[in-house]
Amino acid sequence: MRRIYEMFLSSKSGRLIADIFNREGIPSPSAYYYISMNKPAPPKCQWGSGTILSIIKNTVYKGELVSGKRRVTSFKNKRIVKNPPDTWVVVKNAHEPIISEAVWDEAQKIVAKNHVGVRRGGTGEVALFAGVAKCKDCGAKMTFNRKFYKDNTKEYYRCGRYTNKGRTACQPHTILESEIYNAVIADIRTFAKLAFYDEKQLVARIAKDNASHSDKMIQQQENLLGKKERRLTEIDLLVQSLFEDRVSGTVPENIFKRMAKKYDDEQIALVAEIDVLKNELATMKRSENDISSWISKIRKCLSIETLTRELVVELIDSIEISEVYEVGGEPQQDINITYRFGNLPASTETKEKRAS
């Protein structure tokens, strides 16, 4: 299982990982079932991208168990329905993890980025800016497109909302992949030079651009955490009062059981939510370390010649693409880059739109 995460973090798609495992003859989880029963596994039990992604998204591999995801609607029809995530029971450190939580979290970020606008060819390649390029106006992910002509191939991105719903929802925001590529690699080179020759200036710039944004987010998170913790304390008092009323006989047995179950369920959900909020706060407060790590990574890009998917995911959080507009009769289009540690404006944002 560790190998799956390692391959996924090195920019291999679920489809490509599945193909590699099938070529190597590694039994899939469903195939293992038949093997354990001393039966030959049918062809349908081969590895698939869905199996790979289900493993990558499964919290059990980071030592966490989750229960209560589904329930039976009634004893009569036995229909199974999904419960909302805020009702799940989460048990952390339930067993020895196979991969670290940091590795698992990194994989989930890639899953989210790769969810839309991907391309898959014979090599299982994921589009370079899939899940990273976003529409500046509506925030939708840009979808990758490819058109084949007699003499060439056109690869470009277009607003996902426009693609799905047309101009009533948003504008195309169409842009060639090569234009994003050139803007991003030029920007990375600019910051790599600054990191190499004047790191103090770059650190100061990052800190200035991110301070107010980070402080606001941290304050919002702390307020929400305080609210959840106060509610948890309040439930403890309510439960105590409920038991006292039951003992005194002022609350009927059926009402007592229903209310006790309600409070117990809410407590379980609150404990899980509080744990998540505390982890998120800790992550936000590690910004200084994040900045140092990012600078160390980008300094290595001083002589970068080729932009890879791995590097894009490692350094960049999002790339906003504006609709084409005119300045002095010339078409222009903005490309705004936000890096992984926070909101650092790109050194080159507006690009002249070339005819294509």
User: Is the Cβ–Cβ distance between 157 and 175 less than 8 Å?
Assistant: yes
Beta partners for residue 134, in sequence order? 141, 320
pLDDT, residue 122, reads: 45
Token digits of residue 105: 């979290």
pLDDT, residue 356, reads: 42
β-strands 175-176, 316-321: how paired? unpaired
pLDDT, residue 287, reads: 57
Amino acid at the residue 95: H
d(Cα 29, Cα 27) in Å, to the nearest integer?
Answer: 7
Contacting residues for 167 by C-beta, under 8 A, at least 6 apart: none
pLDDT, residue 289, reads: 58
Local confidence pLDDT in tens for the 356 residues of the chain: 889 999 999 888 787 888 888 889 888 888 887 888 888 877 667 787 778 888 998 888 888 888 777 776 655 555 667 778 778 888 888 888 898 988 999 998 888 776 555 554 444 578 899 989 999 999 999 999 888 888 888 999 999 888 877 777 789 999 999 999 999 999 999 989 988 888 777 777 776 666 555 667 778 888 999 999 999 899 888 888 888 888 888 888 888 888 888 988 898 988 889 988 888 787 666 655 567 778 888 888 888 889 998 889 888 989 999 999 999 989 999 999 988 865 554 444 555 554 44
Beta partners for residue 70, in sequence order? 82
pLDDT, residue 354, reads: 47
β-strands 316-321, 133-135: how paired? parallel
* Nearest alpha-carbon partner for 285 in 201, 217, 344: 217
User: Is the Cβ–Cβ distance between 167 and 350 less than 8 Å?
Assistant: no
Token digits of residue 178: 């090569």
What is the value of pTM for the model shown? 0.51
Burial class (CB in 10 A: 0-12, 13-18, 19+), 312: buried
User: Is the Cβ–Cβ distance between 129 and 157 less than 8 Å?
Assistant: yes
